[in-house]
């Protein structure tokens, strides 16, 4: 579902229109911003889950490229960004690190039937540079959609659009910040979603928590990288 079979039709959808609108979104200054402009979204707060906020675009629109570029992904997932992504276990791939697998298991608990454990079988890593975006899609490669996707954000803040079961429904926009975890579960599992832009401006990145953990001698390269990037790791039960 990553590519649109009819590009002209895709252009006419509410999701595509929102992508274009939010690609150019400029956050209002927090001070003096009217309260409803930053409506709080209902997100539970856990150790790794910080609040997300619904957004409304402001009038101010710096020029932005509407071209879709694709962040990269890890094996065992083969990606054709004009078409579908597919799992291909014959591709070289590494074991998911134990700490990451156990974090995913814990985070998935609220979306799992009582007594059932989430099996972290694949992790897709998306790297977003300053002008990258991930177009609206539904993740449909997994056999059992009743199992959640645990999606972790690191680095620069982004806008995440969560739409409906068709591209015609107007999506809800949220900020995702470094450390946020989204559980795509239940109904959300069947909904279009995407990332129209990330924020690399120094006053908008909101990466201070991450930066404070990168004070080692060898961390300067990671620090340089993360100031202009967002990394999303999403962990899935495939079978
Ligand atoms: O980058 C994100 O937050 C979303 C990634 C995503 O939806 C995907 O990889 O399928
Ligand atoms: Fe997705």
Query: What is the CATH architecture of 7-236?
Result: Sandwich (2.60)
Residues 191-224 have pLDDT tens digits of 999 999 999 999 999 999 999 999 888 899 999 9
193 is in an annotated binding site: yes
> Binding residue per annotation — 93?
no
Ligand nearest to the CA of 85: 1
Characterize the bridge pairing of strands 149-155 and 193-198. Answer: unpaired
Q: State yes or no: ipTM above 0.95.
A: yes
Tokens representing residue 119 in the block: 């099996």
To the question of whether residue 218 is assigned a binding role by annotation, the answer is no
Residue 54 CB contacts under 8 Å (≥ 6 apart), including other chains: 38, 39, 40, 41, 172, 173, 174
Contact (Cβ atoms closer than 8 angstroms) between residue 87 and residue 76: yes
Q: Domain ranges for the chain, please list them.
A: 7-236
Residue 195 in contact with ligand 1 by CB distance below 6 A: yes
CA of 213 to the centre of ligand 2 (A): 28
Q: What count of other Cβ atoms lies within 10 Å of the Cβ of residue 5?
A: 8
In this structure, which residue's CA is closest to atom 2 in ligand 1?
A: 232
Residue 167 beta carbon below 6 angstroms from any ligand 1 atom: no
pLDDT digits (tens, 9 = 90+) for 46-55: 323 333 344 5
Q: Whose CA is nearest to atom 6 of ligand 1?
A: 194
Closest CA to 163 of 125, 190, 193, 186: 193
């Amino acid at each position: 579902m990553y590519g649109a079979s009819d590009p002209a039709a895709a252009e006419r959808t509410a999701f595509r229109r929102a992508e274009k609108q939010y690609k150019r979104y400029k956050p209002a200054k927090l001070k003096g911003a009217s309260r409803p402009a930053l409506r709080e979204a209902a997100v539970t707060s856990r150790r790794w889950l910080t609040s997300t906020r619904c957004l409304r675009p402001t009038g101010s629109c710096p020029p932005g490229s509407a071209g879709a570029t694709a962040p990269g992904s890890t094996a065992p997932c083969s990606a054709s960004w004009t078409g579908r992504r597919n799992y291909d276990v014959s591709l070289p791939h590494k074991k998911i690190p134990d700490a990451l697998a156990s974090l995913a298991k814990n985070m998935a608990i609220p979306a799992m039937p009582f007594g059932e454990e989430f099996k972290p079988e694949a992790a897709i890593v998306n790297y977003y540079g300053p002008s990258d975006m991930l177009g609206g899609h539904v993740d449909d490669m997994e056999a059992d959609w009743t199992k959640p996707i645990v999606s972790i954000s690191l680095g620069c803040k982004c806008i995440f659009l969560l739409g409906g079961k068709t591209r015609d429904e107007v999506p809800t926009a949220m900020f995702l910040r470094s450390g946020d975890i989204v559980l795509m579960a239940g109904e959300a599992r069947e909904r279009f979603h995407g990332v129209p832009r990330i924020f690399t401006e120094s006053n908008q990145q909101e990466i201070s928590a991450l930066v404070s953990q990168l004070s080692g001698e060898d961390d300067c390269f990671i620090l340089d990288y993360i100031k202009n990037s967002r990394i999303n790791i999403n962990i899935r039960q495939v079978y």
